[in-house]
Amino acid sequence: MCRNIKTLHNFAPPATEEEIRASSLQFVRKLSGFTKPSKANEDAFNRAVDRVTLAARELLNSLVTNAPPRNRETEVVKARARSAKRFGAAPVAMMAGHNHD
């Protein structure tokens, strides 16, 4: 689950509210062990997501750096290269209807 939490600091354009909330949701899911909480735990779960989102936003707004902002597309390419090196290239799916006999 935590592999889905992305670095959000120092990007141009800055992280969106949706990105901050998505990372907060993943964090709370990891801590709680729930992908989707039961009705009995739903309020506590949602409250935790709200509070983590607030703390994450505050953190991102408070951080300073002298480094130039990172480019999102460049970081995606780097992440894919790291993944391919770690796990190997993904197999290419054959198109339906094509027969290679």
Please indicate whether residue 73 or residue 63 has the higher confidence score (pLDDT). 63
Residue 71 is assigned to a structural domain of this protein: yes
Q: What is the pTM of this model?
A: 0.74
Residue 83 is assigned to a structural domain of this protein: no
Residue 59 is assigned to a structural domain of this protein: yes
Residue 58 is assigned to a structural domain of this protein: yes
pLDDT surpassing 60 at residue 16: yes
pLDDT at 2: 54
- Could you give the number of structural domains in the chain? 1
Residue 56 is assigned to a structural domain of this protein: yes
Tokens of 77: 């390419």
Residue 90 is assigned to a structural domain of this protein: no
Residue 22 is assigned to a structural domain of this protein: yes
pLDDT at 61: 95
22-39 confidence digits (pLDDT tens)? 999 999 999 999 999 999
62-71 confidence digits (pLDDT tens)? 999 999 999 9
Instruction: Provide the residue range defining the domain that includes 12.
Output: 2-75
Tokens of 23: 């990372």
Classify the C-alpha dihedral 10-12-16-19 as positive or negative: negative
